[in-house]
Structure formats: structure tokens, C-alpha cells
């Protein structure tokens, strides 16, 4: 069973390969995050995440009704912000 924090969000750790894993006893890499977890990873509110998606800065993936964010997409966004100096 994946480890969860007090809000019920799966906690992750980083493996030696740089991929996140679900919990200390589970080496399954996390590829997609829900809105709440993705916002937490970026240290922003879910509302700001939605705004970044609406403006085309972050791409979400739809699987049936579920909206998910790829860990690689979040990393791409962070890298782009570093190159731009974090400005808008």
C-alpha cells in the first residue's frame, strides 16, 4: 500500500535513478499526479496550477474523467522557469 500523508495524498521519495517512487517499500515509479499532488510538488495552489494549464504553460493528461499531470511535464515547467528567471 502506498504511503500517504495526513491529507491522503500519496507521498513520494526519489529513487537513485531520479524517478519518484510511491513509498519506501514500493519501487514503482510515479508517472502521473492528481491536481492536488501536482500543485504540492510545485509548492503552488491548485488554483494557480489550473491557471497555468489554462494559459498553456503546463499540460494535463485526461484519462477518462481523471485529470493528471505527468511528473516529466512538471519538471519541464520548472526547468523552463529557471531559464526564464522565473518571471511571468
The radius of gyration of the chain's CA atoms, rounded to the nearest angstrom, is 13
Statement: the pTM of the whole predicted model exceeds 0.85: no
pLDDT tens digits, 16-49:
445 555 555 667 888 999 999 999 999 999 999 9
User: Which pLDDT score, from 0 to 100, does residue 17 have?
Assistant: 47
3 in Cβ contact with 22 (< 8 Å): yes
Q: How far apart are CA 42 and CA 3, in angstroms?
A: 20
Side-chain-facing half-sphere of 56: CA atoms under 13 Å? 0
Q: 71 in helix, strand or coil?
A: helix
Amino acid at each position: 500500500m502506498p504511503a500517504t500523508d495526513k491529507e491522503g495524498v500519496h507521498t513520494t521519495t526519489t529513487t537513485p535513478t531520479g524517478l519518484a517512487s510511491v513509498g519506501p517499500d514500493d519501487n514503482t515509479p510515479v508517472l502521473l499526479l492528481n491536481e492536488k499532488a501536482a500543485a504540492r510538488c510545485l509548492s503552488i495552489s491548485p488554483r494557480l496550477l489550473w491557471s497555468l494549464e489554462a494559459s498553456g504553460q503546463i499540460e494535463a493528461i485526461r484519462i477518462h474523467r481523471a485529470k493528471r499531470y505527468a511528473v516529466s511535464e512538471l519538471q519541464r515547467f520548472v526547468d523552463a522557469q529557471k531559464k526564464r528567471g522565473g518571471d511571468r
